[in-house]
Chain A
Amino acid sequence: MGNMRLGTKIGLLAAAVAALTAWYWFHLTGNVALPEDRTAFVVVFLGCVVLGVAAFVKRTSWLGTLPPLFAIAVGLFFPYTMMISEQVVARDAAIEVGDTIPRFASIDDSGVEFDSRSLSGHLVLIKFFRAHW
């Protein structure tokens, strides 16, 4: 330990923080409990990136390059997924409580035509979701 390079130590710290934060993220995701405001997450993840870069600046051992690389990858990946997951609807166009649903036609997963008239007189739950990914 005593002769471990400073950069290696910083890199290990960065990797540990990144791993713990990512674990906590998945833990919250599993409970559908991610906060609306993820600023703290972004700050911590980008902090990991900074530490990872600092580790290289301070020089690491050969094996010591792995923890800071991990920290940088994780630290960039999560803010990126947050960036692409923004949902924006044209608020004035979106259907609201009190509106009558539009008439629509589509096809189901067997290729059978579907007409929304078949829903009238029934209680209905309609769920829009993103593709499978």
Chain B
Amino acid sequence: MEELRPEFDKRGVKVVTVSVDLPEVIADRRHLHGLQATMLSDQSLVVTDAFGLRNQGVHSAPPSESAKALPVPATLLIGRDGTVLWRDLSENYQRRSDPSVVLAAMEAHFDTLQ
């Protein structure tokens, strides 16, 4: 996602990531996911549940996982008034939102706003 950084900056987009990892694990992995994003640790799935994105699948978390469940991979674009403008839910964790898909969505939903 970090390859879209110039596109985020151009539009003044704030990027927030949510995962169930411990803060120190996220900090460790920060270089992989996004150097300038706000990276939230949602161990108790409070944020995930507020968005209704808890994975209800039976095998949602392997036994080694510290969290008891996981979010469904999802990307949301939010307008200045807090309205969801675009949503991409992955049916499978091996398919995440492709950067080109996210860019097209920003062009369609952010660039048409005044």
Contacts and interface: CB of A to CB of B under 8 A. Distances in A.
B53 A125 contact: no
Interface string A25-46: 0000100101010000000000
Interface in A93-126: 93-111, 114, 119-126
Q: Is the interface of A mostly helix, strand, loop or mixed?
A: loop
Given A84-B59, A111-B23, A129-B19, A89 B82 contact: no
Contacts of B8: 125
Max chain A CB contacts within 10 Å: which of B25, B46, B76, B110? B76
Interface in B65-110: 65, 67, 70-87, 89-98, 102, 106, 110
Max chain B CB contacts within 10 Å: which of A84, A105, A124? A124
Interface residues of A, number: 47
Q: Is the interface of B mostly helix, strand, loop or mixed?
A: mixed
A104 B44 CA distance: 13
B18 A119 contact: no
Interface of B: 1, 8, 11-21, 23-27, 29-30, 32-33, 37-42, 46-48, 50-60, 62, 65, 67, 70-87, 89-98, 102, 106, 110, 113
